[in-house]
Homo-oligomer: A and B are copies of this chain.
Amino acid sequence: MTTTVWTRDDLRLEVEQELRELLARSESAAESYGPEFARLWALASNHVGRGKLVRPLLLLETYDALRAASAPSPIRSETVRIAAAIEVLHYSFLLHDDVIDGDLFRRGRLNLIGELGEASPCVSRPGDGRHWAQTGGILAGDLMLSCAHQLFARADLPVEQRIRLLDLLEHTVFETTAGEFVDVGLSDGLIGPDLATVLAMTGRKTATYSFELPLRAAAILAGASLELEQRLREAGWYLGLAYQLQDDLLSTFGDAEVHGKDAFSDLREGKQTAIVCFARLCGEWSGIETELSEAAYSIAAAQSVRRRLRACGAEAFVQNLVSDQMTAFRNLLANESEIIPDGVQRVLLALQARLDGRAS
> Which residues of A are in contact with B by a Cβ distance under 8 Å?
26, 29-30, 33-34, 36-37, 40, 92, 96, 99-100, 120, 122-125, 128-129, 131-132, 134-136, 138-139, 141-143, 145-146, 149-150, 152-154, 163, 166, 169-171, 173-175, 177-182, 184-185, 188-191, 197, 204, 270
Report chain B residues within 8 Å CB of A139.
Answer: 96, 177, 180-181
Report chain B residues within 8 Å CB of A33.
Answer: 174-175, 178-179, 182, 204
Known: A36-B181, A139-B180, A150-B166. 8 other contacts (CB 8 A): A33-B175, A34-B191, A36-B191, A99-B138, A132-B190, A141-B142, A146-B169, A146-B173
State the CA gap A92–B96 with chains docked (Å): 14
Report chain B residues within 8 Å CB of A141.
Answer: 142
The 6 A-B pairs at the shortest CB distance, nearest first, are namely A124-B189, A153-B153, A149-B149, A33-B178, A128-B188, A37-B178
Pairwise interchain contact B143-A174, C-beta atoms closer than 8 A: yes
* Residue from A30, A170, A181 with most neighbouring chain B CB atoms (10 Å): A181
CB distance from A276 to the nearest CB of B (A): 13
Which chain B residue shows the least CB distance to A131?
B188
CB distance from A323 to the nearest CB of B (A): 27
* Residue from A100, A173, A178 with most neighbouring chain B CB atoms (10 Å): A178
State the CA gap A189–B128 with chains docked (Å): 8
Which chain B residue shows the least CB distance to A153?
B153
- Using known A-B contacts A145-B145, A153-B153, determine if residue A100 contacts B138 with beta carbons closer than 8 Å: yes
Report chain B residues within 8 Å CB of A125.
Answer: 188-189, 270
Pairwise interchain contact A190-B146, C-beta atoms closer than 8 A: no
- Using known A-B contacts A166-B150, A185-B36, determine if residue A174 contacts B29 with beta carbons closer than 8 Å: yes
Report chain B residues within 8 Å CB of A29.
Answer: 171, 174
Q: List 30 A-B contacts (CB under 8 A).
A: A33-B179, A33-B182, A34-B197, A36-B181, A36-B182, A36-B185, A36-B191, A96-B138, A96-B139, A99-B138, A100-B131, A123-B189, A123-B190, A124-B188, A125-B188, A125-B270, A128-B189, A131-B184, A131-B188, A132-B184, A139-B181, A142-B173, A143-B174, A149-B149, A149-B153, A150-B166, A150-B169, A150-B170, A153-B153, A154-B166
Report chain B residues within 8 Å CB of A171.
Answer: 29
State the CA gap A46–B37 with chains docked (Å): 33
Report chain B residues within 8 Å CB of A190.
Answer: 36, 120, 122-124, 128-129, 132
Report chain B residues within 8 Å CB of A179.
Answer: 33
State the CA gap A40–B270 with chains docked (Å): 22
Report chain B residues within 8 Å CB of A197.
Answer: 34
Report chain B residues within 8 Å CB of A204.
Answer: 33
